[in-house]
Amino acid sequence: MKILYSFLSSLFLTLLSIVLPAQQTDWTHFRGSLLNGISTEKNVPVKWDESSGIVWKVPSFGRGWSSPVVYGNQVWITSETNNGKQMYALCYDFTTGKELYRIKLFEPEKVFSKHEINTYATPTPCIEKDFAYFHFGTYGTACVNTTNGSVVWKRTDLNCDHVQGPGSSPIIWKNMLILHLEGTDVQFITALDKTTGKTIWRTERPRDLMDKLPRIGKKAYITPIVINVNGRDLLISNGSAVCIAYDIQTGTEVWRIVQGEDSTISMPFSENGIVYFFTSFVTVQGEGQYCELMAVNPDGKGDIAGTNIIWRKKFPVLQLLTPLIKDGLIYLVDTRNTLQCIDAATGNTFYTYRLKDKYNASPVYAAGKIYFPSVTGETLVITEGKELNILSRNRLPGEIYATPAILRNSILIRTSDFLFRIGIK
């Protein structure tokens, strides 16, 4: 009888797990575990301030704009102190906010200049079971065992002249850790064996394109995505002069779209088999400088600019945040502080709304709502849809440059002053 009861109980739990949607329990990369900024959480905070809705907050140690990543009960970020002379991995308990690890990973002999709004700890780490990966651009990359805080491996020989500081976040793909190092001197993408840190492949950006650019224009700060096209996994990476799809197994170029004269920052995004990305700016006589948002059919080979671009839309130069796409609608705030909702199928605009604040962190989505954090510490919350509906404006002390994480009925927001967990108890 006990055996039968145990069997029926196990069967019931199995069926229940199939019927009920799984709660999103981890947030493993910049813009989430699927690199798309979308959370599956259904019960998420909408209103908060410094005195309400806060589960815990911990004061900032050093400085950094990396986003929090979460696996199990651990929250990881990076930070730097003494103007980049020390670079750290920091771990906090998700439940209580208690600091679990403070690991000094790098002490570079020389620190180069950066942009005034950037930090030396801007790339977001990535995490999986038992291991987290930390990237500080030219200053070093490391793997940490999250069960005991030990350093598994380090690399400090992957170098470039960022000029304005590091910005590209690493991603995990199967056995690989994918890194972008694109400076004014060299521009390359590399895949490391995530277990050992050894190089699996390394691909240079095309010299015939990069050599045409001014030195300052060769740098880029994007984080790539991976999509599957006809059974083949492609790494989509939009550099300063070109967006390229690489075979992620080998680093071999599959297709390209050439456009741009300077840095790219916003990462590509995708939905329903279509790829979207911002180019860097172009200069056109009589029109000045602008960049474009492009929608592309990624099924092609070679130069596909003449055949696979579905639509293109002009924008102000130097788009910083990565737009959010959900159910055929693209949401973004451009560098002139204009909130927009765009039809992903046509590029037509459903609405625009001028905002006062700057928005450098990328928007995130949960339960029919989009969250836009501003540099002033305010998070604007709107409902999804073709008409603008502002639900709340929520202010915290400090500036927000780090993209939030949404999971387990909570939002993790990093400001310049604190790391907050905002929740529904």
Q: Which amino acid is at 310?
A: I
pLDDT in tens, 57-115: 999 999 999 999 999 999 999 999 999 999 999 999 999 999 999 999 999 999 998 99
Question: Residue 110 in 3-state DSSP?
Answer: coil
Please give the pLDDT value at position 424.
Answer: 82
Cβ neighbour number for residue 180 with a 10 Å cutoff: 26
What does the pLDDT read at residue 24? 61
Q: Which stretch of 7-21, 357-371, 372-386 has the lowest confidence by average pLDDT?
A: 7-21
Check pLDDT > 50 for residue 373: yes
Q: Which pLDDT band, with edges at 50, 70 and 90, does 318 fall under?
A: confident
Q: What is residue 286's predicted lDDT score, i.e. its pLDDT?
A: 82
SS3 1: coil
pLDDT, position 225: 98
Quick check: helix, strand or coil at residue 228?
strand
pLDDT of residue 1: 40
First to last CA, the chain: 39
Output the pTM of the full model: 0.93
**What are phi and psi for residue 28, nearest 5 degrees?**
-100, -10
What are the pLDDT digits (tens) for 118-136? 999 999 999 999 999 999 9
What the block records as the tokens of 12 is 């019931």
272, 310 Cβ separation under 8 angstroms:
no
Inform me whether the pLDDT recorded for 22 exceeds 90: no
pLDDT in tens, 279-317: 999 888 888 899 999 999 999 999 999 999 999 999 999
CB 365 within 8 A of CB 38: yes
Nearest to 133, CA basis, from 183, 201, 187, 197: 197
What average pLDDT does this structure show over 230-257?
Answer: 97
For CA atoms 41, 42, 48, 52, the dihedral sign is negative
pLDDT digits (tens, 9 = 90+) for 348-369: 999 999 999 999 999 999 999 9
What is the distance between the alpha carbons of residues 323 and 13, in angstroms, rounded to a whole number? 38
| Mean per-residue pLDDT of the chain | 93
Looking at the predicted structure, is the pLDDT value of residue 263 above 50?
yes
- Is the pLDDT at 230 greater than 70, yes or no? yes
pLDDT tens digits for range 334-344: 999 999 999 99
* Residue 7 clears pLDDT 50, i.e. is over it: no
- Alpha carbon 81 to chain centroid, angstroms: 23
Q: Could you give the domains of the chain?
A: 204-315 (2.40.10.480)
**What pLDDT is attached to residue 10?**
37
Q: What is the pLDDT of residues 155-198, one digit of tens each?
A: 999 999 999 999 999 999 999 999 999 999 999 999 999 999 99
Residue identified by tokens 């197994």 is: 249
Percent of the chain with pLDDT over 90: 89
**Ramachandran sector of residue 32 (left: φ over 0; alpha: ψ -120 to 50; beta: rest):** left
pLDDT of residue 62: 95
- Give the model's confidence band at 403: pLDDT under 50 very low, under 70 low, under 90 confident, else very high: very high
pLDDT at position 425: 61
pLDDT for res 15: 33
pLDDT the model gives residue 285: 82
Check residue 104 and give its pLDDT. 98
| pLDDT class of 8 with cuts at 50, 70, 90 | very low
Average pLDDT over residues 317-330: 96
Q: Strands of 99-106's sheet, edge to edge?
A: 69-71, 74-81, 86-93, 99-106
